[in-house]
Structure 1
Amino acid sequence: MNEVGILYKRAGRRTKKIFGQTWFYKQFDPHVLNAVMFALDERNMSFAERADPVLVSRAFTLMVGEILEGEWNQNYTLPGTKPFAWTGSEAILKEYFFSGGETVRYSQCWVFAGALTTMYRSVGIASRPVTCYAAGQDFDGNLIIDKDRIVNGVMSDDSVWNYHVWNQCWMKRRDLNNSMFDGWQELDGTPLHRSNGEYQMGPTSFKQVKRGVFVNKYDLRHLYSEVNSDYFKYDGNRVTKINRNFVGNLIITKAIGSYKPIALTHYYKPKNHIKDYQLQKKIFKHFKLNSSMLRSHYKLRSLSNDISIKIDSVDSIEFGREFNISVSAKNIFRACYMIVTVNAKTYKDEKIAEIKRKIERLQIKNSIEKGESESLVVKINSFDFLKGLFASTIEVKAALLANGREIVQTKQIDVDSPTLELESNKFNKTSQIRSLQIAITNPLPIHLTNCKMNIEAVNVNRYIVRVKNIRPNFRYKRNVQIKTKSDKISLNIECDEIVSESLSLFRLSD
């Protein structure tokens, strides 16, 4: 089992560019195993239970939530490490162990998955992280993502995350008495729903999702909703769009023997639409769900085209840059109002900032009369808008309101982090000292403050290098020497104002 791998994180919605981060598992470090055994002791697992990989792997999905503290609202007020700054599992598990079991701050789904991979491998369970793009989060349990649905004045909580990272473990399922379910099992350290009263998920065989042969262990509904739910887009309580392929449209992991991604999507989803529909009928029957929501029974309600709205903008921007949003609206039969809002959103599809500019407030007050067209151009400075936030996308939402009816258009704009550069200038084979040159350009009109580099390699513990404040629009360079013969190095820079994307795996040339 390799001690280094890649966690695949966000991907551009339109550019389809996938961002991977080098992650050091270091499952053979003795302190890692000590930490895992300590956590098992804290759960009071008997030796008989510890001999069962099904029970152990399930318990780990609960335990990792006690080892790490999740933080998705960017409220980093207490001392800790931001999720984006972690480079591997060893530092997390050692901090947990040497603190006597204190929860380690902070984490998000990929950090939980990286730590879980290490925990599983340390006790001999083969494991790997898996990333699902457009992961469905179904709050009401109907296996349908009801986007923007309003019932009795309340908006549905269903959403689609940009991505979600969970784990697979390889094992025999002797508890199911059917060898068909042996092999890769799905487990999740950050599930949306409780299972048996606890936030734990799995192990469940992904073969159930594709083949339509169901057993009760464990949490099949959670897995199916993440990878194979239908996506229903609403205008109030009226369905305007159904997409059966959007949720779980790409599922990947690191390829065996390579540092490139490999697609696993076909293992979860039937390619044939007839088989897909037959599977949906089976699973709706299995969970005793309302068959009227099946694809073949549901009809889209036609919408008149008397009012229309369109958004034009770039598909992606670099953090700190300005960009324009152009919104045009047409009204044929009735007076209506136009509203434009701009939101910064996390990978969990959550709004973390909202801006309503004076120019839009004027448009809200003025109606667009019958037969008129209206257009406006809004200039957004991403630095002013996202200051102090780490957003993966900016969402533009334009709406026309007429006689209680709302027509909505949205557009997602990807936010790219500042580019970090890493080169190996020199390697001394005798001393095994590797000289690195690191460079980053500050794209902002202000200083970057409280900056530090997080560096880790296969045989080098994660360590922090303090950096002086970086001037506005300045290209900062720094030479760092580390003792390692490995060409696998992970690096990121975090400041109060920004966090760089961690570098993916680099094979440095001497």
Structure 2
Amino acid sequence: MSNDEQLAVTSVHLYPLENAKLHHTDKFEVLHRDNPTVILRRGQSFHVVVGFSGRTYDPNKDFVQLVFAYGVRPNIIKGTKAVCTVSDKGREDDNIWHARIVGKDESSMNVEVYTPPDIPVGLWKFSIESKPKDNSKSLPKVFIYADKLYLLFNPWAKYDQVFMSDERLLDEYVLNDIGKIWVGPHGSARGREWIFGQFDAVVLPAVDLMMSRSGLSPVNRGNPIYVTRAISKMVNSNDDLGVLLGRWNGQYEDGTAPAAWTGSVPILEEYLDSGSEVKYGQCWVFAGVVATMCRALGIPCRVVSNLVSAHDANASLTIDRYYTADMEMMDYDPTNPDGDDSIWNYHVWNDVWMARPDLPKGYGGWQAIDATPQETSDGVYQCGPASVEAIKCGAVGFNYDVSFLLSTVNADLVRWKEDSNSEFNYSKIDSNKYHIGRMILTKKPWIYDPNGDRDRDDITDEYKNKEGTKAERLTLLNGVRASERAKRYYMIPEKSREDIDFELVNLDEVKLGEGFSITVNIHNKSEKARTVEAVLSAASIYYTGIKAHVIKKATGDFKVAPRAKEMLRLNVKPEEYLDKLVEYCNMKIYAIATVVDTNETWGEEDDFQILKPNLDIKVAENPVVGKPCAVKFSFKNPLKKVLTGCLFQYAGPGLARNTSIPYRNVQPEEDVKVEHGFTPQRAGRQKLVGTFSSKELVDITGSAEIEVFEDEE
């Protein structure tokens, strides 16, 4: 063959696994298949070997270019297309594409390719063009790389916006594919096991589908601010073709109950297969899916649970409770026709890590995003990224949605009572500065406790200063100053506390089938007898704070002697509440009292949970890769009723994909034992997560850590 013949590329090898190990992407499942997908990170070099036919590459005669294209209309100026001329020179600029020859032989050359740290993330197309240097009119020969090429965010790269300097934390916030999400009221919150599964084969294609529907232009898909805002918009399906449909009313017959999911993978698999929204999610499910997507893309992400979480519907930075003149609590806000404030037992969102070049220095790091639809932002249901530091400082003028999240963790709970003498028609009777944002939790890095809470990390002080301190008050008032509506609410004085102290005794937890009591301690500090009118009540509630059923209520008035202490108590028997429970068995107790002699009014409320049994999970000893073994599930039905529509589900990365086991009806108070076979795929310490759900009882969960051994045969 003539040495003057135009050079032609006949093969391209990107060595997916070898490059992946250097790029921290080697855990993706698709890299371990017969036809592996190339998954790399931006801002870092990778190697490609280019094969030629007929003759070797001659730098004096041949012109070879690597062409990378992103999106439907790639454009060099917009950064969605790159043309790299192969040369022997090293790179001089970290912000441009570069292709350097690092080795060659008679039929191939090894090229080191460098990608800038700000290019769009996702699927890129790759081709190689070759033509002679001395013939500018000659058409290039084009070799098209037919397989997929993903380029992701790179938190290991110093100039990537998502760079995290402590690399050890990336083992948790990018590479850990199983964790916990804290759910439940303050006092009984527990870490619910969740399989993020970001390295599963369905995840990146599902993310790609979601981003294609997000409306985010390709040029902005390299900016983590816009990408995470789009994720917060698209994981819910309120106003777009999003991933999950939310539902909180306990009616899930036409889908999957939120409590039945073991993790994100079956949700994203269904979304990818059907192309439509998946039924159903709640805040912690939305947050689990967000964490999966962010970690898959390379954005450090953690799941955050706020216990006693405010939903401020009118941007007043207060959560308002209204009472009639007769001390009956109103189920609506008479001053706000657009919506009612509410207090969720807990609310779950995500923190994502990035620099914030759009904000003043010091506001980078963790940024809060929330994919659960509560209020619109820029006209659609999305929230964040809001700088956690800005939330802590009350800097409500910074993008995005800082004010909403400030109220979520630190609003005052204000009680108002009808008052015809007030210009506002209501007088402020109480302002609780300590009730909202009792504790903010996430999972500790590197620890997983399958049977306890050693892996719980309290990050409340990252979101706000200690309650009651001057710094905490200044933060909230800093936010109030920026809102005319909030100023009006905070300017109204509350009645001064006079000579009687009231205390509602908090209940942390009650086991299912046990009774409980609402107790109020009263201390008359005056020298005169006082008459007190009081209302005590208990109700079952959804975890969003919406009342389901009033369980018991008592009213009365009584005298408290001078300097005396009294105790009010309302006892609730199991038979009075069992049939009125709703999913997750959350309860709220209310107390309100007025001192007739002074017109002093006090109110308080508390949430607690009726506890259900855990799902006990055991795996046969010494499981071996590639050999069948058995997992055993057991629990006791705590109810004196038959459970119908029973379903066990379990999954574990490296152990088993999501597996469903339909089960017969479970009899009242029956001990249930179920055994099922699976075949481990990966050696080492693995984690298995299981759930049980039925029409009458949901949210029975458990997990187990398992040591899987290599087959020595």
The two structures have a TM-score, normalised by structure 2, of: 0.62
AA at the equivalent of 1:108? Q
Which of these residues, 290, 301, 309, is aligned with residue 127 of structure 1? 301
Q: Does the CA-based 8 Å contact 1:159-1:349 persist in structure 2?
A: yes
Which of these residues, 178, 188, 200, is aligned with residue 382 of structure 2? 200
AA at the equivalent of 1:90? V
Name the CA shift for 1:123/1:469 in 2 (closer, same or farther; >3 Å). Answer: same
Q: Does the CA-based 8 Å contact 2:323-2:330 persist in structure 1?
A: no
| Aligned residue number for residue 479 of structure 1 | 675
Which of these residues, 197, 203, 213, is aligned with residue 26 of structure 1? 197
Gaps of 5+ in 1: none
Name the CA shift for 1:200/1:465 in 2 (closer, same or farther; >3 Å). Answer: same
| Aligned residue number for residue 695 of structure 2 | 496
| Aligned residue number for residue 431 of structure 2 | 242
Higher relative CO (CA 8 A, sep ≥ 6), structure 1 or 2?
1
| Aligned residue number for residue 64 of structure 1 | 235
Of 451-460 and 418-427, the range deviating more from structure 2: 418-427
Name the CA shift for 1:54/1:149 in 2 (closer, same or farther; >3 Å). Answer: farther
Of 190-199 and 104-113, the range deviating more from structure 2: 190-199
2: CA distance between counterparts of 1:405 and 1:275? Answer: 29
| Aligned residue number for residue 221 of structure 1 | 403
| Aligned residue number for residue 353 of structure 2 | 170
Name the CA shift for 1:426/1:224 in 2 (closer, same or farther; >3 Å). Answer: same
Name the CA shift for 1:463/1:153 in 2 (closer, same or farther; >3 Å). Answer: closer
| Aligned residue number for residue 413 of structure 2 | 231
2: CA distance between counterparts of 1:417 and 1:448? Answer: 14
Name the CA shift for 1:48/1:150 in 2 (closer, same or farther; >3 Å). Answer: farther
| Aligned residue number for residue 108 of structure 1 | 282
Of 400-409 and 252-261, the range deviating more from structure 2: 400-409
Pairwise CA distance, 1:490: 0.5
SS at match of 1:62: helix
1: CA distance between counterparts of 2:362 and 2:507? Answer: 48
2: CA distance between counterparts of 1:441 and 1:154? Answer: 37
1: CA distance between counterparts of 2:623 and 2:272? Answer: 35
SS at match of 1:275: helix
SS at match of 1:395: strand
Name the CA shift for 1:323/1:103 in 2 (closer, same or farther; >3 Å). Answer: same
AA at the equivalent of 1:353? H
1: CA distance between counterparts of 2:196 and 2:307? Answer: 23
Pairwise CA distance, 1:249: 2.4
Pairwise CA distance, 1:277: 2.9
- Aligned residue pair count: 492
2: CA distance between counterparts of 1:134 and 1:507? Answer: 31
Of 31-40 and 148-157, the range deviating more from structure 2: 148-157
CA offsets 1:394-438 (integer angstroms, 9 cap, x no match): 234456689899765655442101232122232332534342222
CA offsets 1:284-323 (integer angstroms, 9 cap, x no match): 223345546559x844433675xx9987896532224445
| Aligned residue number for residue 97 of structure 2 | none
SS at match of 2:705: coil
| Aligned residue number for residue 370 of structure 2 | 188
Q: Does the CA-based 8 Å contact 1:325-1:377 persist in structure 2?
A: yes
Answer yes or no: is 1:420 the counterpart of 2:615: yes
1: CA distance between counterparts of 2:209 and 2:638? Answer: 45
SS at match of 1:180: coil
Identity of aligned residues (%): 27
2: CA distance between counterparts of 1:207 and 1:382? Answer: 48
SS at match of 2:622: strand
Answer yes or no: is 1:86 the counterpart of 2:261: yes
- 1:17-56 equivalences under 5 Å are 17-56=188-227
Q: Does the CA-based 8 Å contact 2:511-2:610 persist in structure 1?
A: yes
CA offsets 1:135-161 (integer angstroms, 9 cap, x no match): 121122111222346699884332322
Name the CA shift for 1:388/1:142 in 2 (closer, same or farther; >3 Å). Answer: closer
2: CA distance between counterparts of 1:416 and 1:275? Answer: 37
SS at match of 1:490: strand
Q: Does the CA-based 8 Å contact 2:614-2:700 persist in structure 1?
A: yes
2: CA distance between counterparts of 1:170 and 1:446? Answer: 47
Larger Rg: 2
| Aligned residue number for residue 283 of structure 1 | 479
| Aligned residue number for residue 510 of structure 2 | 317
2: CA distance between counterparts of 1:190 and 1:213? Answer: 23
Name the CA shift for 1:119/1:443 in 2 (closer, same or farther; >3 Å). Answer: same
CA offsets 1:216-270 (integer angstroms, 9 cap, x no match): 3111111110112222244554444433233222112112212212221111212
Q: Does the CA-based 8 Å contact 2:429-2:494 persist in structure 1?
A: no
2: CA distance between counterparts of 1:277 and 1:395? Answer: 27
AA at the equivalent of 2:183? K
Of 108-117 and 53-62, the range deviating more from structure 2: 53-62
Name the CA shift for 1:267/1:153 in 2 (closer, same or farther; >3 Å). Answer: closer
Q: Does the CA-based 8 Å contact 1:53-1:171 persist in structure 2?
A: yes
Name the CA shift for 1:405/1:141 in 2 (closer, same or farther; >3 Å). Answer: same
Name the CA shift for 1:312/1:134 in 2 (closer, same or farther; >3 Å). Answer: closer
AA at the equivalent of 2:295? R
AA at the equivalent of 1:390? E
Q: Does the CA-based 8 Å contact 2:408-2:436 persist in structure 1?
A: yes
The two structures have a TM-score, normalised by structure 1, of: 0.85
Report the RMSD for the aligned CA atoms in angstroms. 3.5
AA at the equivalent of 1:85? A
2: CA distance between counterparts of 1:371 and 1:266? Answer: 41
Gaps of 5+ in 2: 1-174, 238-242, 334-339, 419-425, 449-454, 709-713
Of 238-247 and 370-379, the range deviating more from structure 2: 370-379
Q: Does the CA-based 8 Å contact 1:134-1:248 persist in structure 2?
A: yes
| Aligned residue number for residue 393 of structure 1 | 586
2: CA distance between counterparts of 1:242 and 1:205? Answer: 27
AA at the equivalent of 1:269? K
AA at the equivalent of 1:34? P
Which of these residues, 444, 457, 460, is aligned with residue 265 of structure 1? 460
Name the CA shift for 1:399/1:107 in 2 (closer, same or farther; >3 Å). Answer: same
Which of these residues, 643, 659, 664, is aligned with residue 463 of structure 1? 659
- 1:137-152 equivalences under 5 Å are 137-148=311-322
Name the CA shift for 1:288/1:325 in 2 (closer, same or farther; >3 Å). Answer: closer
2: CA distance between counterparts of 1:28 and 1:438? Answer: 27
1: CA distance between counterparts of 2:199 and 2:181? Answer: 19
AA at the equivalent of 2:392? K
Larger fraction in helix: 1
Pairwise CA distance, 1:506: 2.9
- 1:151-166 equivalences under 5 Å are 155-156=332-333, 157-166=340-349
Pairwise CA distance, 1:70: 0.5
Name the CA shift for 1:250/1:355 in 2 (closer, same or farther; >3 Å). Answer: closer
1: CA distance between counterparts of 2:667 and 2:368? Answer: 46
| Aligned residue number for residue 113 of structure 2 | none
2: CA distance between counterparts of 1:211 and 1:333? Answer: 43
SS at match of 1:59: helix
1: CA distance between counterparts of 2:307 and 2:482? Answer: 26
2: CA distance between counterparts of 1:371 and 1:203? Answer: 52
Q: Does the CA-based 8 Å contact 1:418-1:500 persist in structure 2?
A: no
AA at the equivalent of 1:506? A
1: CA distance between counterparts of 2:591 and 2:332? Answer: 18
